[in-house]
Homo-oligomer: A and B are copies of this chain.
């Protein structure tokens, strides 16, 4: 038996597993200091689920306890009640018409952005932002689409630097690319894209027969009017874009696991093959649907009470983002993001390496963040902090940073 040798090209563990391991080692070596650790590294939420979701889950659990209301295998692409709620609330309300057969409910955007590669040829040229969410790169390496690594970059991946000079926005590729991963509001930089800017990408993709893989997991954090909540607000996007969304960062479902992917019927290859049909086949064959209980919880996110409760949770995190952003700015850091995002992206002081800064923050201040280098070569010299901690911990962490770095 032979293994997939591409697996040997990547580091044996995923970025966030590495960080968890480093924190664990530090904690074992420094049990006293470990008690003060504040985690603003991984993008994991901390607020309890909205009461509407809790209520919906209790009800669904009860249904599973009785023969008359028990539910077995869920429909592979999601229950109609959830698909319709998504269609009406996330799309119709923004002037986007979708059919429920264009929406695929899943166990989360990470699985979907990872698995979407299954339906594309290994011959495609992939374009990614740098820095970027590691899953886009790693899954392409694992499947054999990346080429080999040299100087921190993969030979067959087209990198689009997102750096301070271009306001952390990618520039249109200068060579032919086929699959373009975009994530807005962006992870890790926290920066958003305007409708006018995104239109350029849609036009580019349509002109060049490329597909945009659009990760909108952080959409709920958008505050500005000219920032699109879905790529389908942009004219022409249905013929060139797949969109990934998640209940993780909206309704705090990181521990519940639910997201969805939109593949419009109009998105076709040059010879007319619908990508929708390919993704439908992939999901029907390699996935078995999402728990009924989870889908009822997701549906409750769209009830009037659910909407109000979720809005309050988002406000809570938004306030944290502001606390971090303003606190760091006040003591001289160069900071980005936060406005339409739960992420704050900061330049490390005195050109410190991002892992060096990680170690320092952990060791001196017991604050855990994510080193920019983990997101790609252009992340070096930057650092990500998240707004998903508690208000108290966030304030405490900012206070520690302020005290330490105050000139």
- Interface set of A (CB-CB < 8 Å, partner B): 1-5, 7-8, 10, 12-14, 17, 42, 44-49, 51, 54, 57-58, 61-62, 64-67, 70-74, 76, 107-108, 110-111, 114-115, 118-124, 134-135, 138-139, 142-143, 178-179, 209-211, 252, 254-257, 269, 273, 275, 277-278, 280-282, 284-294, 390
Chain B residues near A66 (CB-CB < 8 A): 48
Give min CB distance, A125 to chain B, whole Å.
9
**Are the CB atoms of A121 and B12 closer together than 8 Å?**
no
Give min CB distance, A400 to chain B, whole Å.
22
**Are the CB atoms of A46 and B58 closer together than 8 Å?**
no
**Are the CB atoms of A135 and B286 closer together than 8 Å?**
yes
**Are the CB atoms of B1 and A124 closer together than 8 Å?**
yes
**Are the CB atoms of B285 and A135 closer together than 8 Å?**
yes
Bound Cα distance A143, B284 (Å): 15
Q: List 14 A-B contacts (CB under 8 A).
A: A2-B120, A17-B76, A46-B72, A57-B293, A61-B61, A67-B390, A70-B255, A107-B257, A111-B286, A114-B287, A118-B143, A139-B285, A142-B286, A255-B291
Bound Cα distance A91, B1 (Å): 26
**Are the CB atoms of A70 and B58 closer together than 8 Å?**
no
**Are the CB atoms of B256 and A288 closer together than 8 Å?**
no
**Are the CB atoms of B120 and A4 closer together than 8 Å?**
yes
- Out of B44, B58, B121, B255, name the residue touching A4 (CB < 8 Å): B121
Chain B residues near A70 (CB-CB < 8 A): 46-49, 252, 255
Bound Cα distance A158, B316 (Å): 58
Give min CB distance, A37 to chain B, whole Å.
16
Given contacts A1-B178, A120-B4, contact A49 B74 (CB under 8 A): no
**Are the CB atoms of B256 and A1 closer together than 8 Å?**
no
List the 7 closest A-B pairs by CB distance, nearest first: A114-B286, A2-B121, A44-B72, A14-B284, A1-B178, A72-B254, A71-B255
Given contacts A1-B179, A2-B124, A111-B287, contact A44 B67 (CB under 8 A): no
Chain B residues near A46 (CB-CB < 8 A): 67, 70, 72
Chain B residues near A107 (CB-CB < 8 A): 107, 257, 287-288
Chain B residues near A257 (CB-CB < 8 A): 74, 107, 288-291
**Are the CB atoms of A142 and B72 closer together than 8 Å?**
no
Chain B residues near A124 (CB-CB < 8 A): 1-2
Give min CB distance, A105 to chain B, whole Å.
12
Chain B residues near A64 (CB-CB < 8 A): 48-49, 54, 57, 255-256
- Out of B1, B72, B288, name the residue touching A108 (CB < 8 Å): B288
Most chain B CB atoms below 10 A, which of A120, A143, A254, A288: A288
Bound Cα distance A143, B135 (Å): 20
Chain B residues near A1 (CB-CB < 8 A): 120, 124, 178-179, 209-211, 269
Residue in B closest to A112 when the chains form the complex, CB atoms: B286
Bound Cα distance A46, B64 (Å): 10
Chain B residues near A123 (CB-CB < 8 A): 2
Chain B residues near A256 (CB-CB < 8 A): 64, 291-293
Most chain B CB atoms below 10 A, which of A73, A211, A273: A73
Bound Cα distance A1, B13 (Å): 30
Give min CB distance, A115 to chain B, whole Å.
6
Most chain B CB atoms below 10 A, which of A12, A111, A135, A281: A281
Residue in B closest to A62 when the chains form the complex, CB atoms: B54
Give min CB distance, A397 to chain B, whole Å.
17
Chain B residues near A292 (CB-CB < 8 A): 255-256
